[in-house]
Amino acid sequence: MLTKLFVKMQAFMADRKGVTAIEYAIVAVAIAGIAAAVFGTNGGLEDALTSAMSTLRGKIPS
């Protein structure tokens, strides 16, 4: 019984699939956080793009 448990524990410790899944989850959360910060509704990128487009629109003769 103890030998089976030991063998299963060794197999569990050697299995790296779970670690890879966790790493991908951490990367996905980081990307989602960055996207929320950049495209958030509190200004930032949206205001900068709106300002740049208004400036360009004003400089192009109609």
Residue 17: what residue type? K
Q: CA-to-CA distance for 46 and 35, rounded, in angstroms?
A: 12
Q: What is the mean pLDDT of residues 36-43?
A: 73
Q: What is the mean pLDDT of residues 1-10?
A: 76
Q: What is the mean pLDDT of residues 6-14?
A: 75
Average pLDDT, the chain: 80
Over 80: is that where the pLDDT of 23 sits?
Answer: yes
pLDDT of residue 16: 67
Q: CA-to-CA distance for 21 and 28, rounded, in angstroms?
A: 11
- The Cβ-side half-sphere exposure at 57, using a 13 Å CA radius, reads 6
Return the DSSP state at 44.
T
